[in-house]
Chains A and B, each alone.
Chain A
Amino acid sequence: MLKIFAAVAASLAVMAASAIGTPASAQDRTVKITGFGAKSGVVRVFGVNSEAALKAAAEEINKAGGVTLGDGAKAKLTIEFLDDRCNAEEGISVVRRIASTDAFVAVGPTCSNVAESLFGILQKKVGDASDTGLQFPIIADVAAKGGLAKISEWSFRNVPSEFEMYKSLFAWLKTQHPTLKTIYGGVEKDFAHSNATFGVMKAQAEANGLQVVGQSEWLLADTTFSTQIREMKRANPDIVAISAHPFTTCGALKEMERQGVKPKLLIGLTSSSSIETLQGCAKQAEGIIIPTSFAPVTPEAQKAAEQVAKFGGSADLHSAAAYEIVYILKDVIESQKIMAKPDTVAADRVKMREGLAALKETKGLLGKVGRTSDREAIKPFLYVHAKDGSWQVLYKPAS
């Protein structure tokens, strides 16, 4: 009798333990999202901000219960971030490394030159058996050069369309400042993003009736701008548009101040609407107008900015995109019933790609984000201007 009682007690104990164990093991399921980008070199700040944004969003999702997998289990998101040094070869190597794991998606990269090469090693057209390219979905948060997602059906982006932003900005300027007739450009010639965006600025300026009276060129690490700014001064333009990153934007603005070049209006590159520009040359940048897809103007955006700061980053148009991506991935994991198991990796990658490709709209920090058939985002944006040492919203175009 005692033996029977002991056996029953032991069975009950085992059952109780397994009953307690079941939810515990579900809690232990994790989905690792791997981000990659520049975390060394002069663009390190982009990687730092992206990583912080990914972690901030993941923490919020985890606090709310995590993500529901295809088998109904709940899983927590974990973030890993790898450094590609803004170098194409290293970017490809990093992604090959990620693809050799159980990961079913990666978020990155920072630099357009990396994205351009990297998307080139992915399978161009899904289902093309003759194409042995990597079948692994990647969604970019920062790389901003236009049209990059077209390269492969496995590549996606959640970056703002600079074409749309500058098209809108120049059209708005035409209505607000009809007396301004001429524009002069300054471009950082050796940086893919600056160079490509300058082409957009120039085309949109001309399309809106502005006469381009010249352009000056410099390199990313240049320290003197006297020759270029002298040419600018001679052209005496109404508007100066600078397509360069903060270091040389500030260098050029300081030289403009030195030479007494005072255009009626200043326009800057999207990436310069950051704290770096204000740290470097707040006084000289006063008044510069920049279109951006992020500003803490909605409760969601304010909360995101606070969360990102907690993780040691700063929310800007690039890191905000990373933040949004984590929510996009959560939705796709749930809608596509991704299993996130080692034996379902290939199927999960296909599901993730299909899920991302099927998206018509996603939730963004400034409002709804449209998705195009070539896997790009149509993000809401606004114009900010530097005023009294901070970025302030100048105008929000109707979306």
Chain B
Amino acid sequence: MDLLIDTVQSIADGVLFGATYALLGIGFTLVFGVMHKLNLSYAAASIGAAYASLLILAGIKAPPPLVFLLPAICGGLIGGMVYLIAFRFIPLANPLATLMSTVGLLLLIDEIIVHTTAGVPLAYPALFSDVIIQAGPFNLRGDLMFVFLLGCLCMVLLLLLLYRTKLGLATRAVSQQPTAAELCGISIGRVNGLTFVITGVVGGIAGAMTGAAIGMLSPLLSLPLTVKGLIVTVIGGLGSIPGAIVAGLLVGGLENLFQFFRGVSERDLYVMLLLFVFLVFCPGGLFAPSAGRD
């Protein structure tokens, strides 16, 4: 009985923490959906946005909403900068060029964080950290449930933005028919830039929620979250926002399950194996978008 309870609890804990992966996956997948490019600096920029908000608010007793709003603003600004530095002036026709420029940016952002904070972990304000929901023998963390709901809200807002606004229409047009979109007078550079700002806002929220869920920020987070974000994007289906949410929760749940049964040394091995299984047997991921670029 204990084994069953522990198994279910492990999955539940993982699924809830997977909400932070889902938020990151949304950002990865949105950029890929629009530009068909991977932005490998995304997780580092998200953590960077959360750090920036902490540094801006250092010494100020800011109300909690401001603490969580500021990372979104910082994320948007950093997102715009990432576009300018790693995409705007890089030949987009060469797929490796932007991949390498974003890898460089990942390392750069990481080192900026390290040099600003000497690599010291900083406490991040927790949100609903004392809320534990008891469901029979199981405990569910209130803060992670909040992150999960926030992820769902982000998904709904992004889908509304994509399907109910002119910017969304332009974004989809650029994603599917860039040449035709340009002929219709849509500025591809502007749409791409705005996509980065929007994903940056989501990234800032993701960074803040990750910090709040862990209770701390550390430069140690950038690389593992980049890997998790990429795995989530591939498993969810490149370019699929609902896919990113589902895959984030799935990866979180399975990761904890692997850890429970096989220990911490083998945990990541199985997660990577899961990625290979998807790449071989289901390369489009769980929710592969049907439409593609011409």
Residues of A within 8 A of B (CB): 40-45, 48, 189, 217-224, 226-228, 230, 234, 246-247, 250-251, 254, 258-259, 275-276, 279-281
Is A41 a contact partner of B121 (Cβ separation < 8 A)? no
Is B118 a contact partner of A45 (Cβ separation < 8 A)? yes
- Tally of B interface residues using CB under 8 Å: 37
A222 CB contacts on chain B under 8 angstroms: 264
B224 CB contacts on chain A under 8 angstroms: 221, 223
Give bound CA distance, A281 to B120, whole Å: 13
B13 CB contacts on chain A under 8 angstroms: 224, 226-227
For the complex of A and B, the 3 pairs showing the least CB-CB separation, nearest first, are A44-B119, A226-B13, A45-B118
A189 CB contacts on chain B under 8 angstroms: 264-265
A220 CB contacts on chain B under 8 angstroms: 220
| Contacting residue for B123 out of A40, A48, A227, A281, CB 8 A | A281
Is A43 a contact partner of B17 (Cβ separation < 8 A)? no
Other A-B pairs beyond A227-B260, A247-B220, A254-B215, 13, CB < 8 Å: A40-B111, A40-B114, A41-B114, A41-B219, A42-B114, A45-B119, A219-B264, A223-B214, A227-B256, A250-B216, A251-B214, A279-B121, A279-B122
Give bound CA distance, A166 to B132, whole Å: 36
Give bound CA distance, A357 to B224, whole Å: 44
Give the nearest-CB partner of A279 in chain B.
B123
Is B121 a contact partner of A246 (Cβ separation < 8 A)? yes
Give bound CA distance, A234 to B137, whole Å: 14
Give the nearest-CB partner of A283 in chain B.
B123
B265 CB contacts on chain A under 8 angstroms: 189, 217
Is A251 a contact partner of B264 (Cβ separation < 8 A)? no
Is A227 a contact partner of B259 (Cβ separation < 8 A)? yes
Is B219 a contact partner of A42 (Cβ separation < 8 A)? yes
| Contacting residue for A247 out of B9, B141, B216, CB 8 A | B216
- Pick 22 A–B contacts, CB within 8 A, sort by A: A40-B111, A40-B114, A41-B114, A41-B119, A42-B114, A45-B120, A217-B264, A218-B264, A223-B213, A223-B221, A224-B14, A227-B256, A227-B259, A234-B2, A247-B121, A247-B220, A250-B121, A275-B120, A279-B120, A279-B122, A280-B121, A280-B123
* Interface check B61, CB cutoff 8 A: no
Question: Given A250-B216, A251-B215, A281-B215, are A224 and B256 also a contact pair (CB < 8 Å)?
Answer: yes
B220 CB contacts on chain A under 8 angstroms: 42, 220-221, 247
Give bound CA distance, A226 to B265, whole Å: 16
B123 CB contacts on chain A under 8 angstroms: 250, 279-281
Nearest Cβ distance between residue B272 and chain A, in whole angstroms? 14
Interface residues as binary, B231-267 with A (CB distance below 8 Å gives 1, 0 otherwise): 0000000000000000000000000100110011100
Give bound CA distance, A111 to B111, whole Å: 19
Interface residues of A: mostly helix, strand, loop or mixed? helix
Nearest Cβ distance between residue A100 and chain B, in whole angstroms? 27
A223 CB contacts on chain B under 8 angstroms: 17, 210, 213-214, 221, 224
* Interface check B182, CB cutoff 8 A: no
A226 CB contacts on chain B under 8 angstroms: 9-10, 13, 256
Give the nearest-CB partner of B263 in chain A.
A217
Give the nearest-CB partner of B123 in chain A.
A280
Nearest Cβ distance between residue B213 and chain A, in whole angstroms? 8
Give the nearest-CB partner of B213 in chain A.
A223
Give the nearest-CB partner of A259 in chain B.
B139
Nearest Cβ distance between residue B100 and chain A, in whole angstroms? 20
Give the nearest-CB partner of A275 in chain B.
B120
Give bound CA distance, A220 to B219, whole Å: 12
* Interface check B102, CB cutoff 8 A: no
A227 CB contacts on chain B under 8 angstroms: 6, 10, 13, 256, 259-260
* Interface check B223, CB cutoff 8 A: yes
Give the nearest-CB partner of A218 in chain B.
B264
Interface residues as binary, B1-16 with A (CB distance below 8 Å gives 1, 0 otherwise): 0100010011001100
Give bound CA distance, A283 to B44, whole Å: 28
Is B114 a contact partner of A221 (Cβ separation < 8 A)? no
Question: Given A189-B265, A247-B220, are A224 and B17 also a contact pair (CB < 8 Å)?
Answer: yes
Point out which of B118, B122, B224, B263 has the most chain A C-beta atoms below 10 A from its C-beta: B118
Give bound CA distance, A276 to B217, whole Å: 12
Give bound CA distance, A281 to B210, whole Å: 16
B213 CB contacts on chain A under 8 angstroms: 223
Give bound CA distance, A254 to B13, whole Å: 15
Give bound CA distance, A83 to B173, whole Å: 49
Is A251 a contact partner of B216 (Cβ separation < 8 A)? yes
* Interface check B166, CB cutoff 8 A: no
Is A280 a contact partner of B216 (Cβ separation < 8 A)? yes
Give the nearest-CB partner of A313 in chain B.
B118
Is A43 a contact partner of B216 (Cβ separation < 8 A)? no
Give bound CA distance, A204 to B112, whole Å: 41
Question: Given A221-B224, A279-B121, are A247 and B218 also a contact pair (CB < 8 Å)?
Answer: yes
B129 CB contacts on chain A under 8 angstroms: 254, 258
Nearest Cβ distance between residue A262 and chain B, in whole angstroms? 15
Give the nearest-CB partner of A246 in chain B.
B121
A43 CB contacts on chain B under 8 angstroms: 119
Give bound CA distance, A48 to B123, whole Å: 20
A279 CB contacts on chain B under 8 angstroms: 120-123
Point out which of A217, A227, A276 has the most chain B C-beta atoms below 10 A from its C-beta: A227
Give the nearest-CB partner of B13 in chain A.
A226
Give bound CA distance, A143 to B289, whole Å: 52
B115 CB contacts on chain A under 8 angstroms: 40, 44
Give the nearest-CB partner of A226 in chain B.
B13
Give the nearest-CB partner of B220 in chain A.
A221
| Contacting residue for A44 out of B118, B139, B256, CB 8 A | B118
A217 CB contacts on chain B under 8 angstroms: 263-265
Nearest Cβ distance between residue A109 and chain B, in whole angstroms? 16
Give bound CA distance, A220 to B221, whole Å: 10
Give the nearest-CB partner of B126 in chain A.
A254
A281 CB contacts on chain B under 8 angstroms: 123, 215-216
Give bound CA distance, A193 to B199, whole Å: 39
Tell me the B114-160 residues at the A interface (CB within 8 Å).
Answer: 114-115, 118-123, 129, 132, 139, 141
Nearest Cβ distance between residue A221 and chain B, in whole angstroms? 4
